[in-house]
Amino acid sequence: MTLVIILIAAFFIMLASLAGLLFAVARVGNWVQDNLVYLNTFAAGVFLVVAYNVLDEAIEYSSIYTPTILAVIAGFGIFFLAEYFLPESHCHHDDENCIHANKDKRKAWKVLLSDGVHNMGDGILLVPVFLIDIQLGIIAAIGIVIHELVQEVAEFFVLKKAGYSTIQAIQKNFFVSSTILIGVLMGALLTGLDFLIAPLIGFAAGGFLHIVFVDLLPITAHEARESKKYFEFFVAFAFGVALISMVNLFSAELLERSGLDGHAHIESEIHND
């Protein structure tokens, strides 16, 4: 059952790749483009809660802390290295240098390839989070959707600059976003090995910490300094923390009413599915 929920969550994350459709409606597209920096900051608040909860679960699940702590460091480090060697996977909507540097189709395909690798990483992270706690998995998926929305808008601009039509750009984004399913499959296979469960949860925690402290918060700090709108960015960040905390409480109550246990039995869940 949990694997089905993970696949449904992955599908909704894939839908973020259709963000380019928003720009087919002028008013909606303009609003999204003007407020993407605040959505990014909102996502930082969401992921901070997710990272804390996953880290707490990783430590709680571990009988020996050292391998888990090393796994957290490895998760952070691997995502850091991936971004260092594949910087094209993190073009941002207002980064004209990045967008114009990838304006030919060969470089646009490099952006798509990098994003595909990034999406597989998201899929791997989702599995252990859902398996330790369904409601935490839902929260993590919401955070990834928001993050992907911002990222996919930037990628849409890159593809448009490269000469692709709106439909072609959206189609290619959606196709590349499907690589998250490969990541989910890889994560499911890894959780089938009992001795890897605790390290994999730690790895997921490290990955989410990287998203918060290397990807999202630096952008927020830069945008706040540039615009001098510190209060607005603080509100967006605080709103992300508050809203996802309320979602946490609501989803726990909903799961209880539906008869689902928030904490899944990791050792048997994948095999039962």
| pLDDT digits 0-9 by tens, 88-114 | 555 654 555 554 554 556 677 877 888
Inside any domain, residue 235: yes
Task: Give 165: exposed, middle or buried? Use CB within 10 Å, 0-12, 13-18, 19+.
Answer: exposed
Domain encompassing residue 234: 2-14+61-272
Inside any domain, residue 36: no
Inside any domain, residue 140: yes
Inside any domain, residue 20: no
Inside any domain, residue 186: yes
Inside any domain, residue 119: yes
Task: Give 254: exposed, middle or buried? Use CB within 10 Å, 0-12, 13-18, 19+.
Answer: middle
Q: Three-state SS for 106?
A: helix
Q: What does R_g of the chain's alpha carbons equal in angstroms?
A: 18
- The per-residue pLDDT string of the chain (273 residues; one tens digit each, 9 = 90 and over) reads 678 889 999 999 998 888 767 665 555 566 666 777 888 898 889 889 888 888 888 888 777 778 888 999 999 999 888 877 766 555 654 555 554 554 556 677 877 888 888 889 889 989 988 887 887 888 888 888 888 887 777 788 778 778 888 888 888 889 999 999 999 999 888 887 777 777 888 898 898 899 899 888 998 898 899 999 999 999 999 999 998 888 777 766 665 665 555 555 444 454 455
What's the total number of domains in the chain? Answer: 1
Rounded CA-CA distance 149/127 in Å is 21
Inside any domain, residue 7: yes
Inside any domain, residue 45: no
